[in-house]
Structure 1
């Protein structure tokens, strides 16, 4: 764990340059706007360790799978969001000597991610090998007002000399992905142009034909006044830029303002890209940096009004939760139903930027509560539009009907190449079905069921029907050869969670059918014909529901993770020598698979999803058994444990698990932040506060709160958007205060008591806090 960042409520601050931490900082200080994102690479050249990364949402490449063997059903490629044109580049040299922080003596280094206003800034002084000293101040952002625009303000001030400053702004398409399976470069140049003060570059992927045009324009000031300048143009393969030489004087600053528009063929016709990019760029250039920055700040302030969490008395926790919310809002906006949320977002290349089940299980609740319901709806429609691909995926694995949603995807086609995940981790189907329930339960938008939901539910149910088989030995239906959420156990039989979520899906599908029959009979008749729903399959689903096998340990009163789990040597994590942790970096895979240790919530994942089906005593028994055996080596683990710990009254454990998930990247708990932040688990951090400490649930169409105050905090507050009403919930040692920021009244349940919250009023509930 590396704690090198300064604590601050609204900023992430690095106040010392350490090359060993640079790639970690490049991840943490990333910026994005849902349309594009950029790691916190330096504008000037840097020859030290760095993961250069500029990414355009939805622009990906089918990188050929690299495995030592091949099995039927294997995907032929692993889809990857591409490292796209590097648009931030501004090379700087002094009297012909390049500014490179890997070769300079760096002092007064400060890097700040301003989360309140939405920008990245950096300043430092550097002593060059020649002995000359300069001061640099840089600020940049990607606009959430005009999504195609990125803007940079970069100032250089000589400290102890007069001389010649060379400024070289550029666009570089000669980039590659660090995780390329065969070190292939994925881009071809289509068009390039460089003129004085501007340049443009269009590149195309070698497969799938995604086109990206980047256009730049800049101006220069000295001592606060705009100057006229001459520039040499640079035009090389997949590289365009300008070179400007200026005389500079001691203590007088020179500032370049660089504006870039990035547009893609996903949104515009290929033959229009350059003109569209130029038009967008000119508007941004005319506004100027400060006006664009003010617009950015105002837009971010509006985002915070709906999604902020305030914690009093714990700066570490406050900084962490805002960092997580900030990165989530930078990653996904819901404007484009073709987009989803990759585990690393725009902060790195691990996991390829593809969609996993993380979205439905962890991210959906955040967007349900912090934005208009159409944002969360888009996440579901993303899966609906890929239903045909999911049916194809099932057929590739030999199924005659039904849909198997991919574990990893860009376009709906499975592109993960580890057999135990591609073939076995089928519980993802259940998470997608549960997301439909979660959305409808939270929003009350039952129209979604007839429009989109039933199609998905029926096809997933058909998959489960064919995936189980009847065991004459047990006299029950069983599910063989699966991997549950605990990926430290492969090819197991009767994973309790997988069996349980499969049956739940069948139950919910039948409930939705009954609802549509009774409430939308005409629409149901259409769907009945379209989906060819047969009485025989409905009877089969009911039979599976009634006769599914679930492994249990009767003596302990717990659900067994899978058949044979108790045959493993039962050792608790606390009894392991710490030098063995993390297991995935110290043990062989064979040893991990034979151990009882659990990567992340498995049985407990099911109890979290289906909490309303189980009493507190049952949840507690299973938590007491499984949590001590869990190493939490998945970023998705701690949040589920935190929420369940709060549910059963383990408040210290809930707080411990919260801190682990909240500062996972800021403190580099898993020693892997350098390849990107854990974006999807950040939604779990929000869940830990709102669902865990706030005890927020939706029961029978009503918002329910059962909050407690962590002993380390003086108070905390959060906001939730519920069915068009924005509520602010303040929890202190004395009371719970609910402010209704909407006009309409709303009845909610607090500590099992129904309370009417009038529109635009504040209601105080006294002395009922859990402690």
Structure 2
């Protein structure tokens, strides 16, 4: 755990330059706008360790799978979000000496990400090897108002010299992915042009043939007397090198405007035209006006999604950082897009879609965005249903059974670790649950018959084929699976996987009963060649499924044989051996009792209303002490359950771990990119934990409490076309309805009628 980020309610601040932390900071200080994102790389040359990254939404490459032992059913590729053109670059030299912080003595360094207004600013004073001292102030945005545009202002002041400076703004498409399996470059140039008026490169991806045009324009003002300008091109690269004189103490300012335009949205023949239009309009508006527009767009984002915490700056900074990253990663405007585990902050995990979206991210977008945003997230999976059926067919399933991929960009499975690709099938349940979650929250009942049931039937067909009858047990069992705890592979009867499979079958049967006899359902049955006998099989599974349970301890068994392990708490692991995934052999991890993330507790969290408080408590007390929380998706679930159990200290510990996971680099892996999907878990930990928010049978419930050292908190949600503000202070709760329509609401299990534009005041229980 690192602690070099200064605590501040609205900003992420780094004071002092520590090269070994630079890649962590490149992740933390990343910017994005839903259409593209940029790691916090330096504009000027930097020869130290760096992960260069500009990522364009929806653009990917199917990198050929690299495994030591090929197995039937393996995907042939792993889809990767691509490092695209470096649009921020401005190389600067004085008397042919490059400005490079890796070779300079850095006298002062400060980096700030202002989350409220969405800009990144870097200030430094550096002494170059020759003794020349320079001061730099650089501000950057990925415009939220013009989502094709990025812009920056870079001011340089020579502090103790005058002389010749060379300034080289460029666009560089000759880039690599750090995670390339075979060190292959994924882009081919289509055309390019270097010009002082507008420079650009158009490149296309190999195989997938996405085209992207990245262009730039710049101007230089202030203390700079230009002597010459030279345009230069090479493959996938354009620059305009400007030479002139600088004067001691006189700042010069470089403003650079850029755009990333992809064939996802425009014809390939239009890319240059659109790119030039966007860049020239941005340059005409100017950096100050672009920044103002951008701030206004961010103000609108925060108006609905901000969470205010009084009395705890660390917790406040953490949750705003998570909300900021979520807002700049996904805007919900395009149903073809989804949320990668690293968002626009890095390449790890391929940038593809995982079950994280349904299990963790959906809750945030349900409550903070217009209904269409969450609808697009569930519709994304409906649009990929045929691919999910094909994925199942490759593994031997029939009759329209669907297995959604563990990792995907286009609906096709592209993950190649057998214990995950073939066994971590609980992801199917998360996708089914998301349909319920969306309908339950927004009341969009038509979605079930229009789209949801078709997906649910396909998933239920999978579960019905994936279980088998055990003569010995006289029950159905499910063998050879991996649950959410990936520190155990190829287990039998993982409780969570079996539980969510049963829930899916039950929910599907309820949906079929609801629309029984309707024209729409009859047409769906005809389309799917659905037979009544299928529902009889599903009901038989529901009535006869084995779910492991230990009578002595009163806990659900994570899987067969779990109690045969040497059971011990995480506190028994020597501190120097944590995290175990970076210190232990895989063999040792698999044989241990230690749990990567919520597994059995994941199911208890989802289906808590089925269990009494004592059952939840027994399972929590048994499994949580053995959980190492080495998945970013783990602490939020534990925070919610701890809150329900009244374990305030444990809830706060888990909340802080998820809220500051990247800011403090808990798991020593933030340099690869931020854990964007787990950031939604921070929102869940707050809203479902501290505020006790639930939606039961379409009705909204709250049971708020305050961590002991907090003075209060407030947040907003959208619920069924109403905007609500919830405020909690010591001993008091207020819920305000900022819409005209009345709403029934439960507070501490007491039903209230919340009038339009009215409020509820109640004592804190």
Shorter-chain TM-score bucket reads over 0.9
2:282 corresponds to 1:284 = yes
| Two-structure CA RMSD over aligned residues (Å) | 1.1
Residue 697 of structure 2 aligns with which residue? 700
Work out the CA distance in 2 between the residues paired with 1:40 and 1:148: 18
Alignment of 1:324-723 (within 5 A): 324-401=322-399, 402-517=401-516, 521-723=518-720
Is the 8 Å Cα contact of residues 23 and 51 (structure 2) preserved in structure 1?
Answer: yes
Is the 8 Å Cα contact of residues 220 and 227 (structure 1) preserved in structure 2?
Answer: no
Work out the CA distance in 1 between the residues paired with 2:742 and 2:17: 52
Residue 232 of structure 2 aligns with which residue? 234
Is the 8 Å Cα contact of residues 222 and 250 (structure 2) preserved in structure 1?
Answer: yes
Superposed CA deviations along residues 703-724 of structure 1, whole A, max 9, x for unmatched, are: 1000110012111111111011
Residue 244 of structure 2 aligns with which residue? 246
Superposed CA deviations along residues 166-206 of structure 1, whole A, max 9, x for unmatched, are: 11000001100001000001111110001124201001111
Is the 8 Å Cα contact of residues 151 and 289 (structure 1) preserved in structure 2?
Answer: yes
Residue 176 of structure 1 aligns with which residue? 176
Residue 125 of structure 2 aligns with which residue? 125
Change (3 A) 1:724 1:128: same
SS in 2 for 1:517: coil
Work out the CA distance in 2 between the residues paired with 1:579 and 1:242: 51
Work out the CA distance in 2 between the residues paired with 1:740 and 1:290: 37
Kindly tell me the number of residue pairs found equivalent between the two proteins.
Answer: 764
Is the 8 Å Cα contact of residues 141 and 151 (structure 1) preserved in structure 2?
Answer: yes
SS in 2 for 1:477: strand
Residue 301 of structure 1 aligns with which residue? 299
The offset of 1:451, in angstroms, is 1.2
The offset of 1:229, in angstroms, is 7.2
Alignment of 1:4-83 (within 5 A): 4-83=4-83
Is the 8 Å Cα contact of residues 341 and 351 (structure 2) preserved in structure 1?
Answer: yes
The two structures have a TM-score, normalised by structure 1, of: 0.98
Is the 8 Å Cα contact of residues 226 and 245 (structure 2) preserved in structure 1?
Answer: no
The offset of 1:746, in angstroms, is 1.7
Is the 8 Å Cα contact of residues 348 and 675 (structure 1) preserved in structure 2?
Answer: yes
Work out the CA distance in 2 between the residues paired with 1:176 and 1:313: 45
Work out the CA distance in 2 between the residues paired with 1:742 and 1:95: 63
After TM superposition, where is structure 1 displaced by more than 3 Å over at least 4 residues in a row?
226-230
The offset of 1:733, in angstroms, is 0.5
Residue 312 of structure 1 aligns with which residue? 310
The offset of 1:228, in angstroms, is 7.6
Residue 215 of structure 1 aligns with which residue? 215
User: Alignment partner for residue 745 of structure 1, among 739, 742, 745?
Assistant: 742
Residue 728 of structure 1 aligns with which residue? 725
Residue 114 of structure 2 aligns with which residue? 114
Q: Which shows bigger deviation, 721-730 or 568-577? A: 568-577
Superposed CA deviations along residues 422-460 of structure 1, whole A, max 9, x for unmatched, are: 000000000000000000011111111111101100000
Superposed CA deviations along residues 220-268 of structure 1, whole A, max 9, x for unmatched, are: 1115xx9887521011111101011121112111111110011011111
Change (3 A) 1:742 1:228: farther
The offset of 1:648, in angstroms, is 1.2
Change (3 A) 1:227 1:527: farther
The offset of 1:399, in angstroms, is 1.0
Is the 8 Å Cα contact of residues 197 and 242 (structure 1) preserved in structure 2?
Answer: no
Alignment of 1:261-272 (within 5 A): 261-272=259-270
Work out the CA distance in 1 between the residues paired with 2:52 and 2:598: 34
Work out the CA distance in 2 between the residues paired with 1:530 and 1:571: 53
The offset of 1:63, in angstroms, is 0.4
Work out the CA distance in 2 between the residues paired with 1:49 and 1:692: 39
Work out the CA distance in 2 between the residues paired with 1:578 and 1:254: 51
SS in 2 for 1:231: strand
Work out the CA distance in 1 between the residues paired with 2:19 and 2:298: 31
Work out the CA distance in 2 between the residues paired with 1:60 and 1:27: 20
The offset of 1:761, in angstroms, is 3.2
Is the 8 Å Cα contact of residues 355 and 427 (structure 2) preserved in structure 1?
Answer: yes
Is the 8 Å Cα contact of residues 709 and 731 (structure 1) preserved in structure 2?
Answer: yes
Superposed CA deviations along residues 620-651 of structure 1, whole A, max 9, x for unmatched, are: 11001000111111000000000011011111
Residue 2 of structure 2 aligns with which residue? 2
Is the 8 Å Cα contact of residues 155 and 254 (structure 1) preserved in structure 2?
Answer: yes
Work out the CA distance in 2 between the residues paired with 1:697 and 1:49: 45
The offset of 1:759, in angstroms, is 2.3
Residue 201 of structure 1 aligns with which residue? 201
Alignment of 1:143-158 (within 5 A): 143-158=143-158
The offset of 1:740, in angstroms, is 1.6
Work out the CA distance in 2 between the residues paired with 1:290 and 1:744: 41
The offset of 1:107, in angstroms, is 1.8
Q: Which runs of 5+ in 2 are unaligned?
A: none
SS in 1 for 2:500: helix
Work out the CA distance in 2 between the residues paired with 1:619 and 1:197: 66
